[in-house]
């Protein structure tokens, strides 16, 4: 199979079985263009986290191919930022150190320099958790830990960003603020992004295209164009297009789930 060098993230015939032969993810074929931002919505257990884990290199044992710009994603220096559902913070490190360690690993040439400190402070500030820098994860609420995990993913400036329900533990207002921040940041620093959510509105607000996964393991997915994404973020929610798109997505979910 030949792929163009700037073809983005290509997932070809991807299938994942966990030990015991249980199929966790059916045959998935999908292309996300370089700098594209797609949201994924699907019923519980359909394989959304498994898909992200395979792309992130946390599951080595899968069938099919995962390529970035034509080359195997795991044989090249593609920096991947993952915000896992469980946050993935190191419990023995402070909030500040959790981000610093990720930056040291991903950009060793900038190890502990002044710019790194500014970056960490910048992201903590934007996430509204600057005052938590010296705290340990165990002393934080779920929503606060989630914001640390998001700050950490943004701070490493990855080539590919994978987010697994990153705003699920946040209160409604913080969630809206971070959705806006997320879109602003993607516009300023376009990054190839896959964003898993259970929230139809969030899928519409944050994805150029919406991937609807199904619960059967035939690997069927529906890709929905989403012109609403390109509207001004603050106008989206109250627009007729948004309401119409909500109906469209719900209809696809009713038919496919
Ligand atoms: N480590 C594992 N070992 C065995 N089976 C697993 C493992 N992790 C997940 N599975 C199974 O794989 C399937 C897909 O799980 P996955 O977590 O990817 O679903 P999901 O779509 O992300 O679900 P949710 O929306 O509830 O987070 C499920 O049937 C799950 O039970």
Does any domain span residue 40?
yes
Q: Which of 26, 28, 42, 48 should be mutated for ligand 1, with most atoms under 8 A from CB?
A: 48
- In the predicted model, what is the mean pLDDT of residues 141-148? 93
Instruction: Find the CATH number of the domain harbouring 95.
Output: 3.40.50.300
* 43, 45, 199: residue to mutate for ligand 1 pocket, most atoms within 8 A of CB: 45
- Note the Cα 41 to chain centre separation in Å: 12
14 part of a folded domain = no
Is the CB of residue 32 less than 8 Å from the CB of residue 52?
no
- Is 23 within 8 Å of 170 (Cβ atoms)? no
Work out how many domains the chain is built from and give that number. 1
The closest-lying atom of ligand 1 relative to the alpha carbon of residue 213 is 21
State residue 3's pLDDT score. Answer: 54
60 within domain boundaries? no
- What pLDDT, on a 0 to 100 scale, did the predictor assign at position 78? 87
Q: Whose CA is nearest to atom 3 of ligand 1?
A: 18
pLDDT above 90: percentage of residues in the chain: 69
Residue 36 contacts residue 230 (beta carbons within 8 Å): no
Rounded distance, CA 219 to CA 204, Å? 22
> Quick check: 31 and 81 in contact, CB under 8 A?
no
* pLDDT per residue as tens digits for the range 43-100: 998 999 999 999 999 998 899 999 999 998 887 678 999 999 999 999 999 999 999 9
In a domain, residue 2? The reply is: no
The pTM is what? 0.93
Domain containing 249 equals 34-47+79-255
State the ipTM, two decimals. Answer: 0.96
Quote the CA–CA distance of 207 and 51 in Å, as a whole number: 17
Q: Which residues line ligand 1 (CB under 6 A)?
A: 18, 22, 24, 42, 44-50
pLDDT of residue 241: 95
- What one-character DSSP code corresponds to residue 131? G
Residue 10 lies in a domain: no
Taking CA atoms only, the protein residue closest to ligand 1 atom 12 is: 24
Q: What confidence score (pLDDT) does residue 5 get? A: 67
Whether 58 is in a domain gets the answer: no
pLDDT at 7: 84
Residue position matching structure tokens 């993607």: 186
pLDDT band, very low/low/confident/very high, at 219 (cuts 50, 70, 90): low
- pLDDT-wise least confident of 4-13, 84-93, 148-157: 4-13
With the most atoms of ligand 1 within 8 angstroms of its CB, the residue from 15, 17, 24 to mutate is 24
Ligand 1 centroid, distance to 76 Cα (angstroms): 27
- Cα–chain center distance at 155: 14
CA of 235 from ligand 1 middle (Å) equals: 36
Distance CA 186, CA 95 (A): 23
57 located within any domain: no
Residue 3 domain-assigned? Answer: no
- Under DSSP, the state recorded for 32 is E
Q: Flag whether pLDDT at 4 surpasses 70.
A: no
């Amino acid at each position: 199979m030949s792929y163009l060098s700037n073809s983005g993230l290509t997932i070809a015939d991807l299938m994942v079985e966990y030990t015991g032969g249980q199929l966790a993810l059916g045959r998935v074929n999908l292309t996300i263009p370089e700098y594209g931002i797609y949201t994924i919505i699907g019923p519980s257990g359909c394989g959304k986290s498994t898909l992200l884990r395979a792309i992130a290199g946390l599951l080595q044992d899968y069938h099919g191919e995962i390529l970035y710009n034509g080359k195997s994603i795991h044989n090249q220096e593609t920096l991947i930022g993952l915000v896992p559902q469980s946050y993935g913070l190191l419990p023995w490190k402070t909030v500040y150190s959790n981000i610093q360690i990720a930056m040291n690993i991903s950009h060793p040439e900038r190890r502990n320099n002044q710019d790194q400190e500014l970056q960490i402070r910048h992201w903590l500030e934007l996430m509204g958790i600057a005052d938590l820098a010296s705290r340990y994860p165990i002393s934080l609420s779920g929503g606060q830990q989630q914001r640390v995990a998001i700050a950490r993913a943004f701070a490493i400036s990855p080539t590919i960003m994978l987010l697994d329900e990153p705003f699920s533990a946040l209160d409604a207002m913080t969630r809206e603020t971070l959705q806006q921040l997320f879109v602003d940041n993607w516009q300023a620093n376009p990054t190839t992004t896959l964003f898993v959510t259970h929230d139809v509105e969030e899928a519409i607000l944050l994805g150029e295209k919406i991937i609807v996964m199904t619960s059967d393991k035939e690997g069927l997915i529906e890709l929905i164009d989403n012109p609403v994404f390109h509207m001004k973020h603050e106008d989206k929610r109250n627009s007729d297009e948004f309401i119409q798109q909500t109906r469209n997505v719900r209809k696809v979910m009713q038919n496919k789930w």
